Structure 1
Amino acid sequence: MKVVILGGGFAGIHLAKALVKQDNVEVHLVDKNNYNFFPPLLYQVSTAFIESYNISYPFRRMFQNKKNFIFHMGTVLNINTQEHYIVTTHERIDYDKVVLAMGCDTNYFGNETLAREAMPMKSIHDAINLRNHLLLMLEEASRLPEADIQPYTQIVIAGGGPTGVEIAGMLAEMQREIIPKDYSEKICKHIKIYLVDMDSVLLRAMSEKAGKEAFEVLSKLGIQIKLNVAVKNYENNKVYFSDNEVIESHTLIWASGVRAIDVPGIPASSIAKNGRIYVNEYNNVLGLEDVYCLGDQCLMQGDPDYEKGHPQLAQVAIQQGNLLAQNLRHLSKNQPLEPFRYVNKGSMAIIAKYKAVVDLPKGFFKGFFAWLVWLFIHLIPIAGFRNKVKLFFSWSWSFLTNDPTLRLIIRPRKKYFPEEQPPHQ
């Protein structure tokens, strides 16, 4: 049986790891990158706290010596569900079973200006670009008279979910502990960080206690929190809010919503309004044979405890990937399939140094112990033993010294070079 997996995120990787153990399965993995990475820690790459190699690992290295595994680097252009093949930017690949596990992309809600100018946080590339941008803005501010620097030192974060909260907390730590070591008081006193969300609470997907704790901790760190407010537009380095306030800023970080990645060839009848693909309780795409969908990209309404679909969390993707591997094995042996039932193991978010919140099915806790739990839990899924060790020592050094050495502008976009297009023009 030839199984083609589109996407090497949480769902795709766990499915592939389980399938390569089966002798009768030929596993093909397609991804636009040649590496797997750990999205929950992208914000730490973007704030120069850890390096990108700490949270990424090459697919070919991961499946080294697995003779029934083949990796294809490329972007999916089309899937022909009738003739059982997919087309990528480089080749055509036939399949017996195809699994969509491509995840989500940033949702700008149809605003082309935001899509063009705001800075997303969905990939390693995004994180490195944001790191370069933040450092370049500080460098630009250091060259300007004090009266002109505020647009370079004001940062707006759109989205009060885990990503927005974690970026805000890390930037606040940088403002307090790191930036004063490198830059003058002229710059430090003008830094302002805004966290904006159209909802009435932070961390809406978590408990009310988690949201309140995030609000209190970030407020004490000096974050300007604007709730019940949306970003309407971003033009000429000005952020326009729904409450009519306008803030001059060269940095708008967009962490406000996602949309499932489109797959040309999937019929419209199988796709929900938010782009997610309808599947049954076995993750089989509704209306299609031999086509499956996992994780953030799918919308399953067959789980009694989650009638409106599962939350777009890593644990859902992991559990679905593992179960589908088991069900494909059962299918090949004409054995009964097991329906997916999500086991909620809880959720967590780090707010700042030594501050985190953890929601469990039967309780909630916060503070230093929650922070330690967060560190431990996030070390476990990192691919590669060396990566875990490197990340542990990177964290240890950074937390102890409050002075990580990763403030390197190593891949700036050309438009940021002052001699070509100064940011203030």
Structure 2
Amino acid sequence: MASRVVIVGAGFAGQHAYHELAEAGYEVTLVDRHPYTTFQPLLYQVATGGLNPGDIAFPLRRFVSRSKGRTKFRRATVTGIDTENKRVLTNRGEPIPYDTLVLAQGAGPNFFGIPGAKENARTIYSRAEALAVRDLLFSGLEQMTTQPDRERRFTVLVVGGGATGVEMAGTLAEMKSEAIPVVYPELSQDSFRVVLAEMADTLVAPFDPRLQRYTLHQLRKRGVDIRLGTAVKEVRPDSVDFADGSTMDVDLVIWASGFGAHPEVSEWGMPQGRGGRIEVEPNLQVKGHPDIYAIGDAAIEPGSPLPQLAQPAMQMGSHVGREIVAADKGLPPTPFGYDDKGTMATIGRNAAVAQFPSGRTVTGFPAWALWVGVHLATLLGGRNRLQAMVNTAFRYFAWPQSATNILGDTVVEDVQLDQSAGRPELPQQSE
């Protein structure tokens, strides 16, 4: 019996695999580089001051302590996998032995080799990154109130027209139209500019064309400057070059243009496919490694790739948990089958899109209410669900006064101005 199971990564996929195996009485060690798990779909709300970071984070030691049986948590970064001796190597503590290994480490931003993107753009794939974006927004707006050049605008460029990019751009646009006139009366709405660049000719490409048109209309209605068919060529500290030869001065670039494997995965000796994702068999076993599984954003079956979304990750996690139990009972492998329950994306207050496998589509308030309900229900912990529900309800019913919740720390006490351009010199992204 594969009594010792190690799960690397405590995102949606890792959590669901853990539940299945802990309930079955396995000795499970959950490994993650953070002491908490983050509900990634709501990180853009943290970045724009809509939710507190604690509302969408849950302590992993508490998560593990709720299970009965032989389970434990190790906070560490995986540095390698010793497949010969069946050990997970980490940067903290002794190697972790396993009988079966589940790789659910997720994915990070994919910069597609674009010069300067990694160094000069910001991402919102972690709690720390979301807080950094929030502080940069707050710092930039505060700086604008005392600068001598009243004609200059604070420009935020969101790169990527998928769900994350659309949600971020829509929320920033509402901040511009509702919050700035109240919190920063000395600034005009034109002082804050939101631009969304997408290299394709449509936004939210996986959705029905009707939903794509609705999304485009709602963002433009909110004042977002949308650039379709626009690819980024290079990102500099204070400007972006596009493939068509044009250049745009920017203060903040938020990168929401796809996922890629974490760089360290290439050192683990696993077969990697498109985007660096680990190649798996139909039952989610890693190719060439029958005692290792890969799930969620970290995995790809070359013949039928799945979208890197929460629903596939959750279902893959549960499937692998059951698959490990079945294998110990001598049952044959079962191919994973994804049950598409639908896809949603929010654009702003009372505006969202939802699409179901039947072909039915929903827009506007019903889609927005559905989006809110599903996301609140999926949060870990009763306190987090209650706190997020209270914050969301207050923000909704107290609108537009509640839109004034722009709160962050100034990045530095005195931001130095580049006198030639009149723009704040903000720190570069750290690794």
Provide the TM-score with structure 1 as the length reference: 0.93
Task: Give SS of 2:265's match.
Answer: coil
Distance 1:405 1:21, change over 3 A: farther
Which of 123, 128, 153 aligns to 1:125? It is 128
Match of residue 368, structure 2, among 365, 368, 371: 371
Superposition pairs of residues 64-213 of structure 1, within 5 angstroms: 64-66=65-67, 67-91=69-93, 92-147=95-150, 149-150=152-153, 153-213=154-214
Change (3 A) 1:146 1:399: farther
Calculate percent identity across the aligned residue pairs.
32
Partner of 1:15: 17
> Which amino acid is 1:408 matched to?
L
Alignment deviations for residues 327-379 of structure 1 (CA, whole Å, 9 cap, x no partner) = 11111111233210101111000011100100101111111111111111111
CA–CA distance in structure 1, aligned partners of residues 391 and 384 of structure 2: 10
What secondary structure, in the 3-state scheme, does the structure 1 residue paired with 2:300 have?
strand
Q: Is the 8 A contact 1:79 1:263 kept in 2?
A: no
Q: RMSD in angstroms over aligned alpha carbons? A: 1.7
Amino acid at match of 2:315: Q
- Aligned equivalents of 1:258, 1:339: Cα separation in 2: 25
Distance in 1 (alpha carbons) for counterparts of 2:178 and 2:407: 17
Q: Distance in 2 between matches of 1:131 and 1:342?
A: 36
Report the Cα distance in structure 1 between the residues aligned to 2:145 and 2:7, rounded to whole angstroms.
48
Correspondences of 1:284-299 after superposition (within 5 Å) = 284-299=285-300
- AA partner of residue 329 (structure 1): V
Letter in 2 for 1:250: D
**AA at the equivalent of 1:370:** A
1:304 corresponds to: none
With normalisation by structure 2, the TM-score equals 0.92
Cα distance, 1:178–1:389 mapped onto 2, change above 3 Å? same
Q: 1:267 to 1:63 in 2, by over 3 A?
A: closer
Name the counterpart of 1:381.
378
Q: CA 1:155–1:419 in structure 2 vs 1: closer, same or farther (change >3 Å)? A: closer
Partners of 1:278 and 1:299 in 2: how far apart? 5
**CA deviation digits over 1:368-424, x for unaligned, max 9?**
1111111111111100011111111100111122325753324x54xx432678863
- Correspondence 1:20-59 to 2 at 5 A: 20-23=22-25, 25-59=26-60
Aligned to 1:326: 322
Which AA in structure 2 matches 1:337?
A: P
Please name the residue that 1:345 is paired with. Answer: 341
**Aligned: 1:390 with 2:387:** yes
SS at 2:330's partner residue?
Answer: coil
1:424 aligns with 2:424: yes
User: 1:215-364 residue pairs with structure 2 within 5 A?
Assistant: 215-261=216-262, 262-267=264-269, 270-301=271-302, 307-362=303-358, 363-364=360-361
Instruction: Answer whether contact 2:178 2:404 (CA < 8 A) is retained.
Output: no
Residue by residue, what CA displacement relative to the aligned partner does 1:123-172 show, whole Å, maximum 9, x if unpaired?
A: 0111100000001000011111234632xx11111000000000011011
Pick closer, same or farther for the CA change 1:128–1:236 going to 2, 3 Å: closer
Q: Secondary structure at the match of 2:283?
A: coil
User: Which amino acid counterpart does residue 231 of structure 1 have in structure 2?
Assistant: V
Q: What CA distance in whole angstroms lies between the structure 1 residues aligned with 2:417 and 2:220? A: 36
Aligned residues: 413
* Counterpart residue identity of residue 377, structure 1: V
Q: Please say if residues 170 and 352 of structure 1, whose CA atoms lie closer than 8 Å, have aligned partners that are also in contact.
A: yes
- Following the alignment from structure 1 to structure 2, what is the Cα–Cα distance between the partners of residues 210 and 379? 23
Deviates more, 1:160-169 or 1:230-239: 230-239
Structure 1 residues 6, 330: closer, same or farther in 2, change over 3 A? same
CA offset digits 1:73-103 (Å, max 9, x no partner): 0111101111100111112111111111011
Query: Which residue does 2:429 correspond to in 1?
Result: none
Deviation at 1:49, TM superposition (A): 0.5
1-structure distance, mates of 2:256, 2:397: 29
Q: Which amino acid aligns with 1:31?
A: D
1:117: how far off?
Answer: 1.0
- Say whether 1:62 aligns with 2:63: yes
Determine helix, strand or coil for the equivalent of 1:186.
coil
C-alpha contact 2:182 2:404 (8 A) present in aligned 1: no
Q: Contact conserved, 1:11 with 1:321, CA < 8 A, in 2?
A: yes
3-state secondary structure, aligned to 1:289: strand
C-alpha distance in structure 2 between counterparts of 1:265 and 1:83, whole Å: 17
Look up the equivalent residue of 1:20 and give its one-letter code: A
Distance 1:424 1:116 in 2: 17
Deviation at 1:253, TM superposition (A): 0.6
Q: Aligned residue for 2:407? A: 408
Of the candidates 2, 20, 42, which is equivalent to residue 4 of structure 2?
Answer: 2
SS at match of 2:143: helix
Q: Tell me the SS of whatever aligns to 2:214.
A: helix
